[in-house]
Structure 1
Amino acid sequence: MDTKMYFPYLRSKQFELILLRDNTDIIANKVHPIIEPVRKDFKSLRRAIEALSDSKVFSTIIINPFSGEIPVSQKNILDFLENIDNDLSTISFGYILNADSNIDELINLLENYIDKDFSIIHYGYPNSKIIAEKISDFNNVKRHIFIDGYAGKLYQRHLKKDGIERILIRDGFKPQRKNALYPESEHFSDLHITYPDEGMNGFGDFLTVGDDYSETGGPAYAVAIHLTYLNEEDDMFIYHFVSDRTDSPTDPGGKFFEALNKLIHKGEDKNSLIFKSKAYNEFKSLYEKQHYPGLGYVKKLSMQHHIELLIDYME
């Protein structure tokens, strides 16, 4: 059983997979990514999995996704995983149990893949007592991942068992209808500190994008850069650097520089609480070169900074 503590939940969009691929060196010891495939084309996912596997990064790939307008089929994902040549011993099969799940399907998978590690993601299934009874004889269930708000304390209690990790994932990101509505700063999470108090072996979140999944964002009337930071007590907050112009969808590049200007101004202040991550330094370099890399890349840097900040905290 690996001893990593941070379990970020990602939805396998292109920049999220590039984020994993580019940072296998820094995430190798402390981070266990959970990846929910949302694309039928597995090319980017294959490259990410091969990079993670080569660097011996433990990860969980969800085999029954629910996100996306038409979720990717379980059969497609299992076929894809069986055709990867790399050593997949560091990969756990993730199975989502939600309100509509049929527990017998999970049992069949546990029987058919008896030599494969499983992580069960508890996302609204009503009865943990039934699960505990049905899976009690399987040694390939390695961890329970509880999504906060969908699996309460009593629910969690039935799934305590020696040798099985328990992870709590809490969404710290509070999305706004429009980017212009974000406050300058707000609380994000203290779970990185309090997860042992919750009886957990590890913690996770949906990074700086949140659990609300959408295929594409609408036109950006305002550009916002989201950056997490720790205060003097290591409690986690998030800055929202929002462009000055918020009233039309034109000139996203110019609006990016308005937001970036605020970020760099805050970061370079002598009392700044912003961790000088590799991602922060890349923001600084974009500022110096006045280069706009596109909003997908900006989101990637924001998520990378969040991961780097948590790794620094855990070390």
Structure 2
Amino acid sequence: MAYFPYIRGRQYDLLALKDLAPHFSTPAIPNNPITIIEPVKTKLDDLEKIIMAYAKNPKNPQIILLTNPMVGDMPTLLDIATLANKYPSTVIPAFTPGNSKHTGTALDFLTHITSDDVAIIHDNDRANAHSDNLAIRSAKNVLYEIEVGKLGPAYIGTFTAPRILIEDAFGNHPNNSSYPPDEMFTASHIPPLPIGYSYFGDYTIMRRDYKEGGGKANAVALHVSHTTPSEIRMKHFVSSPALIGSPAAVMYDDALNQLIAFSASPLALNTLGMQNFVASKPKFPGLAKAKQFGMMHHIALRSQ
């Protein structure tokens, strides 16, 4: 079953995808995920490098690129559309109907996107979302109906393509020290599937709420997904309470020792992300890199 990771275009997000792209449809990552990217930076050079990395893979992994982002610095629809149009074999342009946070309109999307094949990312079913939704599907061939918000039956009744549910599955905890050792992530991919949906995705080891940076962490938490016969679960390796207030490198090393011990377990999938975690032992790579490694592991695990 195809997996749809929903990625924001922060630096560590994009670096995770860059490192994974050559390995899609190889023994390391047997299946191609269909990656949804919401650009959050006005400068799109790094994003283009990721698209180029995908385009170089002979198995042609696909990117669904949102042209009217809902969070971040709000790059213009024209700039994103121009980038999407350069890579028609790799990029499926997408639009979110009724997105009042961005200046790009459905008319702009129809004017600037040259591809006939598009995706729609559905966030709400307000009146303006209805009109945008109908305008796009009357002029374009919709490949995927991607749901990130709550929608009513009348709105869903307009759908003509496979439905993808993006789950906000990562645990919601007030701070790093609050994570439990292990918790449920999702079981939606296990048959019988929820009625109406063909595929599923998530925000990897992030939540849907978008945050850029943050304050000083009271603890370091490393997040590693693993599977059981009935569900996907999330391990949280949290530095010791005795180390609160210590330098990040010290807390990272404590959490990493726990992760390395788990990596020898039959539950641990030996992914590129896991290998990067283990290899980081001699030198603290930074907390952004830790997020990158966790994302890499999760995408690989869900693409088996």
How many aligned positions are there?
296
Q: 1:236 aligns with which of 232, 239, 261?
A: 232
What does 1:41-190 correspond to in 2, within 5 Å?
41-55=43-57, 56-68=60-72, 70-81=73-84, 84=86, 87-98=87-98, 100=100, 105-110=105-110, 112-113=112-113, 115-126=115-126, 130=131, 133-147=134-148, 150-152=149-151, 154=153, 157-161=156-160, 164-190=161-187
1:214 aligns with 2:243: no
Give the unaligned 5+ runs of structure 1: none
RMSD over aligned CA atoms reads: 2.6
> Could you tell me how far apart the structure 1 residues matched to 2:2 and 2:280 are?
32
Structure 1 pair 78–115 and aligned structure 2 pair: CA distance change class (3 A): closer
1:22 to 19, 22, 35: 19
**Aligned-pair identity (%):** 27
Distance, in Å, in 2 between the alignment partners of 1:236 and 1:75 is: 39
Measure the CA separation in 1 of the matches of 2:182 and 2:17: 27
Letter in 2 for 1:154: P
Local SS of the residue matching 1:186: strand
How far does residue 297 in structure 1 lie from its aligned partner after superposition? 0.9
User: Which of 257, 264, 267 lines up with 2:263 in the alignment?
Assistant: 267
Q: Shift of the alpha carbon at 1:261? A: 1.1
**C-alpha separation in 1, matches of 2:101 and 2:280:** 46
Give the equivalent residue in structure 1 for 2:277: 283
Name the amino acid aligned to 1:141.
Answer: V
Measured against aligned partners, the alpha-carbon deviations of 1:27-61 in whole angstroms (never above 9, x if no partner) come to 35430111111112222111111111222221111
Q: Retained in 1: the 8 A contact 2:34–2:62?
A: yes
Aligned twin of 2:3 = 6
Q: Name the SS of the counterpart of 1:254 in structure 2.
A: helix
The alignment partner of 1:23 has SS state of helix
Distance 2:50 2:254 in 1: 33
Distance 1:249 1:159 in 2: 53
Q: Secondary structure at the match of 1:211?
A: coil
Q: Return the structure number with greater relative CO, CA threshold 8 A, min gap 6.
A: 2
Q: Which moved more, 1:236-245 or 1:92-101?
A: 92-101
Please give the alpha-carbon distance, in whole angstroms, between the structure 2 residues aligned to 1:253 and 1:114: 48
1:91 deviates by: 0.7
| CA distances 1:142-195 after superposition (whole Å, capped 9, x unpaired) | 221011xx234625631332xx23211111112322101111111101122258
Paired letter, 1:265: A
What's the CA shift for 1:212? 1.6
Distance 1:212 1:137, change over 3 A: closer
Asked if the contact 2:124/2:151 (under 8 Å) is kept, the reply is no
Contact 1:5 1:30 in 2 (8 A): yes
Structure-to-structure mapping, 1:251-262, within 5 angstroms: 251-262=247-258
| Maintained 8 Å contact 2:146/2:163 | yes
Change (3 A) 1:181 1:101: closer
The alpha-carbon deviation at position 11 of structure 1 amounts to 0.6
Q: Is the 8 A contact 1:60 1:119 kept in 2?
A: yes
The answer for unaligned runs of 5 or more in structure 2 is 26-30
Cα–Cα, structure 1 residues 194 and 26, in superposed 2: closer, same or farther, change >3 Å? farther
